[in-house]
Amino acid sequence: MSYLEIKNLHVSIEDKEILKGLNLTVEQGKVHAIMGPNGTGKSTLAYTLMGHPNYTVTQGEVIFKGQNILELEPDERSRLGIFLAFQYPVAIPGVTVANFLRSAVNARRRAENPEDKGLPIPEFRKMLKEKMGLLKMDQAFAGRYLNDGFSGGEKKRAEILQMATLKPEIAILDETDSGLDIDALRIVSEGVNALSGPDLGVLVITHYQRLLNYIKPDVVHVMMDGRVVESGGPDLALHLEERGYDWIREKVEEAAA
């Protein structure tokens, strides 16, 4: 079983410290959810884990498969088995979903074996068809340009299809529910649930309980001021929905005093 261990992580952007000693462990086979008010560093955590150059790590480490991934480039982290579903996926006109995915799969294979000539097209098509069937996606979707003219729901489904194709061990979903209506939210959540299992650890970053009505977390964490300040079971998300964050904020302030 693989673990992603975040230890005392401090991260700044433009000399402003955002993460201030964050500790968290995400293991394969579990769904962890992170909630918290705006500006607490949730998306900063996601981008830092995948190596976004705008975020500067000033202290701490992130251990995965015995390596400190903070020393690796984003593509190396991906090949190691970490995946990030973006809050705002970028459109790539002229590149079809199928070609993008085949290039990503072959790049990973060549990284493991430089002599690998890539997945043969018939095998790739069979695999892609199976994954799209699992996610209940129209096969015509594969021929469209990646995220070009996609609705919010289609962009998020394309992200989940990437996850299904690349088969990561740890997947980070950065506000996957952002911009989705109820139907799209349900479809995307069903896709995540279809991929969940003992080989996949999921870190779901969200503002709202509604996503967790569909993707059932094993553990819920609350972030405030760049740290995880509270952790609990699925009921914690329900308490946050009912009572907001003030009770946790008061609890943190009392502990600090």
Q: Is the pLDDT of residue 41 over 80?
A: yes
Cα–Cα distance measured from residue 154 to residue 176, given in angstroms and rounded to the nearest whole number: 12
Read off the amino acid at residue 71: E
Q: What is the pTM of this model?
A: 0.90
Q: Is the pLDDT of residue 28 over 90?
A: yes
Q: Is the pLDDT of residue 184 over 90?
A: no
Q: Residue 210 has what pLDDT?
A: 82
What is the percentage of the chain residues whose pLDDT exceeds 70?
100
Residue with token string 């995400």? 26
User: Tell me: the pLDDT tens digits for 243-256?
Assistant: 889 898 888 888 87
Q: Residue 101 has what pLDDT?
A: 95
Cα–Cα distance measured from residue 202 to residue 199, given in angstroms and rounded to the nearest whole number: 10
Inter-CA distances, 193 with 83, 112, 180, 243, Å: 16, 28, 17, 28
- Per-residue three-class SS string for 119-185: CCHHHHHHHHHHHHHHCCCCHHHHHCEECCCCCHHHHHHHHHHHHHHHCCCEEEEECCCCCCCHHHH
Between 211 and 65, whose confidence is greater? Answer: 65
Instruction: Classify domain 3-92+169-256 by CATH number.
Output: 3.40.50.300
Q: Residue 83 has what pLDDT?
A: 94
Q: Residue 188 has what pLDDT?
A: 81
